[in-house]
Amino acid sequence: MYIETHGRGPALALIHGWAMHGGLFAPLVERLADRHTLHLVDLPGHGHARDDDAPLQPDMLAAALVERVPDAVWLGWSLGGQVALRAALDHPGRVRGLVMVASSPRFVRDDAGGWPHGVSSSLFGDFGDALERDFRGTLEGFLALESLGSSTAQDELRRLRAQAFERGEPAPRALQEGLALLDAIDLRAELPNLRVPSLWISGRRDRLVPAGAMPAAAALAPGARSVVIDGAGHAPFLGAADRVADEIAGFMESLAAAGASA
């Protein structure tokens, strides 16, 4: 893994989504680095860690990262949320708080199990098949899906296209592993055991993680709060950067205040 650090102050570790890299968090760096230390993580097979062939296993990645980024609030976007959530569940003494951005404990819809807040399982299989046929074209299509629905969709898509591959294309192996993880993951039963405060941020127009997933997840976790941002899609820190940064800063300030009064 690769970690890039900016700013000064209380620590915030940020973990990107599928096929992305830590550089996409630039809008949050711009707004938070004057009061927080931001650790931007590139997962194995992505960005500057493209040649790292470690498997995308959230428990292993979380265990490795807590050694390198101790005593931090962890933020996970989409796929990255699975690593952040795993760290909070497994290492609560080393994770001060959890911010989940457009990341669900279960990405696939499960009507029989009372979870309508997901996509069809075929979506991830279709992406996997498409990667085999047209790797770059499939990634370009995914960027469009990430921005779809946002009130600033065209601006977000331009930014994603400009930045998504500035650290090189992600490794095909890592992308297939990520799709398999998103298809299989289901951490709903573990949320009542979450021992750190959490903030769940979603975009009301998200086409990948329905906005209802985040309040539903927060309802399962003690000490959790959810925020749904009107007009935002799957990358709300791009289209609604000021709002997302304010929510994160307020959450971190509340943790500091709680620690001071303890």
Q: pLDDT digit string (tens) for 116-164? A: 999 998 999 999 999 999 999 999 999 998 898 888 899 999 999 999 9
Give 261 or 247, the one with higher predicted confidence. Answer: 247
What domain range is 84 assigned to?
2-261
The whole-angstrom separation of Cα 163 and Cα 20 is 9
Burial class (CB in 10 A: 0-12, 13-18, 19+), 176: middle
Proportion of the chain above pLDDT 90, given as a percent: 90
Asked whether 103 and 58 are in contact (CB, 8 A), the reply is no
Look up residue 21 and give its amino acid: H
Among residues 46, 103, 147, 206, the one annotated as catalytic is 206
Residue 262 has pLDDT above 70, yes or no: no
Q: pLDDT digit string (tens) for 86-119? A: 999 999 999 999 999 999 999 999 988 899 999 9
Is 122 marked active-site?
no
Average pLDDT over residues 237-258: 94
* pLDDT score recorded for residue 150: 86
* pLDDT score recorded for residue 256: 84
Is 36 marked active-site?
no
Average pLDDT value for the chain: 94
The whole-angstrom separation of Cα 34 and Cα 60 is 31
Q: Give the domain CATH number at 10.
A: 3.40.50.1820
Q: pLDDT digit string (tens) for 219-233? A: 999 989 999 999 999
* pLDDT score recorded for residue 260: 57
Q: pLDDT digit string (tens) for 16-67? A: 999 999 999 999 999 999 999 999 999 999 999 999 999 999 999 999 999 9
Average pLDDT over residues 73-82: 98
Give 261 or 60, the one with higher predicted confidence. Answer: 60
Please provide the DSSP assignment of 89-119 as one string: HH-TTTEEEEEEES--S--B-BTTTTB-SSB
**The two three-digit tokens of residue 117, written as one number:** 């807040």
* pLDDT score recorded for residue 106: 96
Is 34 marked active-site?
no
Asked whether 194 and 224 are in contact (CB, 8 A), the reply is yes
Asked whether 207 and 144 are in contact (CB, 8 A), the reply is no
Task: Look at the chain and report how many structural domains it folds into.
Answer: 1
Q: What 3-state class would DSSP assign to 23?
A: helix
Q: What is the largest CA-CA distance in the chain?
A: 57
Tell me how long the chain is: 262
* pLDDT score recorded for residue 254: 93
Q: Which one-letter DSSP state was computed for residue 190?
A: G
| Residue set of the binding site for substrate | 18, 78-79, 234
Burial class (CB in 10 A: 0-12, 13-18, 19+), 13: buried
Among residues 78, 147, 150, 202, the one annotated as catalytic is 78
* pLDDT score recorded for residue 261: 52
List 202's β-bridge partners, or say none. 228
The whole-angstrom separation of Cα 36 and Cα 29 is 9
Average pLDDT over residues 159-174: 93
108 Rama class: left (phi>0) / alpha (psi -120 to 50) / beta:
beta
The whole-angstrom separation of Cα 87 and Cα 213 is 20
Which of 54, 41, 30 has the alpha carbon at shortest distance from 4? 41
